[in-house]
Amino acid sequence: MGNVHALEELIAKARDHKMSPTERRAQRVSLIMGLRSGKSTLSREKVEELMDEREGADDR
């Protein structure tokens, strides 16, 4: 039963977490990388570069 209690605490903590702009950006990059086709040559660095050009660099 201790595991269930620990899991409930982790879920509550995650529910209350507010993502920082850096975390949100990392999530967006991850989403884009996951949506690429199998033949894509788009790199993570290129995705970040394009986001910087479009939205401005993130202060990390």
pLDDT of residue 58: 59
Structure confidence at residue 59 (pLDDT): 56
Q: In sequence order, what DSSP letters do the residues of the chain get, joined into one string? A: -HHHHHHHHHHHHHHHPPPPHHHHHHHHHHHHHHHS-TT----HHHHHHHHHHHH-----
d(C-alpha 48, C-alpha 34), whole Å: 14
Q: For residue 2, what pLDDT band results from cuts at 50, 70 and 90?
A: confident
CA atoms within 13 A on the CB side of 31: 7
Tens-place pLDDT, residues 5-60: 999 999 999 999 999 999 999 999 999 999 999 999 999 999 999 999 998 875 55
pLDDT: is 2 or 21 the higher one? 21
Q: What is the pTM of this model?
A: 0.69
What whole-number distance in Å separates Cα of residue 22 and Cα of residue 35?
20
**What confidence score (pLDDT) does residue 56 get?**
81
